[in-house]
Amino acid sequence: MIEILTILSIFLFVALGFSDVIKDALAVLKTSGVIADGNGTGILVGPTKVIKAVVLITAVSGTDPTLDLKIQDSDNDSTYYDNVILPQITAVGKYVAYFKTNRKYVRYNATNGGTSPQFTGEILLDDQP
């Protein structure tokens, strides 16, 4: 069962403008480009205090496009668990989620919906003090 608000997983969603873009990201989960269905590559982050995930969507096309994004974590880069589920994305914008992981690896999982949906953007992580 996914627990959104726990000591280990703090979720905060904010749709903001592009003025507060992370410049020195801890990690890039997805470089700028099309965010396709499926899993991103796991990256080693190690256990952390709190991580800020920033999803920058710069273009959206298709009929009634939707993007469901999860941030997942793993101890072994093989078996992943949902850590944070972002609210469904339907428009250009900046979306932020804060979470904690005690696991070593993090990746994203994306599911596109609608007719011919295409979301262009990037997903960044920033280690919070």
pLDDT at 49: 73
User: Which among 74, 72, 71, 70 is positioned nearest to 104, based on CA atoms?
Assistant: 74
List the domains of the chain with CATH numbers: 14-128 (2.60.120.1110)
C-alpha dihedral, 127 to 87 to 113 to 69, nearest 10°: 20
List the chain pLDDT tens, one digit each, 129 residues.
333 222 222 233 333 333 333 344 567 877 778 898 999 888 888 777 788 899 999 999 999 999 999 999 999 999 999 999 999 999 999 999 999 988 999 999 999 999 999 999 999 888 776
